[in-house]
Amino acid sequence: MSYLLKFSLILFVQIIVTSVTIAANFDYQLKATKVAENTYVFVGETEDFTFENGGNIVNTGFIVTSDGVVVIDTGSSLRYGNQMKEAIASVTDKPVVLVYITHHHPDHFLGNQAFKGVGIVALGETIKNINNEGAGFADNLYLMVGDWMRGTDVLAPNHVAELGLVTMGRHKLEIMSLAGHTSADMAIFDHTTGVLFSGDLIFHKRTLTTPHANFEQWLASLTTLRALPIKVLVPGHGPITKTKKPINEMVDYINWLDETISNAVNDGLSMTDAMQIELPERFKTNALLKSEFSRSITHLYLSYENLVFKRVN
């Protein structure tokens, strides 16, 4: 009984202390980093979703044009979207006139409600994926980051993207329909500034994620992106660069992952065996290597088993 009392008391005090420290802000501290003329990025942490980071683990951005502001991805929550809008307003008086959503993962579109009334554009397949899986993603994020999500609901994009060159002011944006990280990944290349918003086709210094991956398509997409005259590369996650090196690192890791899982299944390893494979030094500078490798085993192992197992009855 006394144990129970003590436990309840500790819990109670913890709840009070936590509410006092956190409820004060729920501030993502979004700071617009200028990466090129008229072009800004909010750089997120290279972490997994936690209560501490509130889901700010993603790079979102915006381009200020004479036709208005173009937003690329809206972050992980309504609060994020609202704070993004405020941060944009501190840079320019121009209104947000267009929002692009690169793909259907929750950290990229759950801020959409903040841009209600604006054209929110995505690939057709992305809209379909958001309608199918969006609510589940949102539930999951409530579990992982808690009250940061308050008020967040799924608002699916309302326009199917027009592909090819779109002119906004004097910015010529190439809207590209690619795939591999998910079944539909949009990349946006600004021919005027040479800035590539790759979405999650590129992770930089942060291990890539594979819940909806198709490696063959992903490698093809990376080949397409590598051919662009990129001056500034804005990855979906991780630091911005002026080189194409992150693309080569992506190709290296994808090839290694493919070969490693294939070998594991061919050698008769179970999933838990495979999760304990020693990981190469060269990938260890990438955040979350061990946990993302383990997640990838969960996502992909069965598809490799299906190739190796033969009918035995």
For residue 40, how far is the Cα from the chain centroid? 17
State yes or no: residue 263 binds other proteins (CB under 8 A): no
State yes or no: residue 259 binds other proteins (CB under 8 A): no
Burial 212-239 (b: 16+ CB within 10 A, else e): bbbeebbbebbeebeebebebbbbbbbe
45 to 84, contacts with other proteins by CB under 8 A? Answer: none
277 by Cβ neighbours in 10 Å (0-12 / 13-18 / 19+) ranks as middle
| Among residues 272, 278, 281, 285, the one that binds other proteins under rule CB under 8 A | 272
- Contact, 246 vs 199, CB < 8 A? no
Distance CA 14, CA 24 (A): 16
State yes or no: residue 273 binds other proteins (CB under 8 A): yes
We find the least distance from the C-beta atom of residue 154 to other proteins, in angstroms, to be: 17
153 to 192, contacts with other proteins by CB under 8 A? Answer: none
Pick the stretch among 110-118, 189-197, 254-262, 273-281 that binds other proteins (CB under 8 A).
Answer: 273-281
State yes or no: residue 270 binds other proteins (CB under 8 A): yes
Distance CA 65, CA 69 (A): 6
- Contact, 136 vs 113, CB < 8 A? no
State yes or no: residue 117 binds other proteins (CB under 8 A): no
Q: Which of 76, 157, 164, 153 is nearest to 124 (CA)?
A: 157
We find the least distance from the C-beta atom of residue 142 to other proteins, in angstroms, to be: 10
CB closer to other proteins, 272 vs 285: 272
CB closer to other proteins, 114 vs 287: 287
Determine the angle formed by the axes of helices 289-308 and 245-266, rounding to 10 degrees: 50
SS3 91: coil
Residue 189: beta bridge partners? 174, 196
We find the least distance from the C-beta atom of residue 278 to other proteins, in angstroms, to be: 16
In order of 104, 172, 307, 312, the CA distances from 95 in angstroms are 25, 19, 52, 63
Count of residues binding other proteins (CB under 8 A)?
27
Pick the stretch among 57-65, 109-117, 148-156, 263-271 that binds other proteins (CB under 8 A).
Answer: 263-271
State yes or no: residue 144 binds other proteins (CB under 8 A): yes
State yes or no: residue 21 binds other proteins (CB under 8 A): no
State yes or no: residue 305 binds other proteins (CB under 8 A): yes
State yes or no: residue 3 binds other proteins (CB under 8 A): no
CB closer to other proteins, 177 vs 262: 262
**Do the strands 159-160 and 119-122 form a parallel or antiparallel pair, or are they unpaired?**
parallel
We find the least distance from the C-beta atom of residue 77 to other proteins, in angstroms, to be: 17
Q: By the criterion CB under 8 A, which residues form the site for other proteins?
A: 140, 143-144, 267-268, 270-273, 275-276, 291, 294-295, 297-299, 301-302, 305-306, 308-313
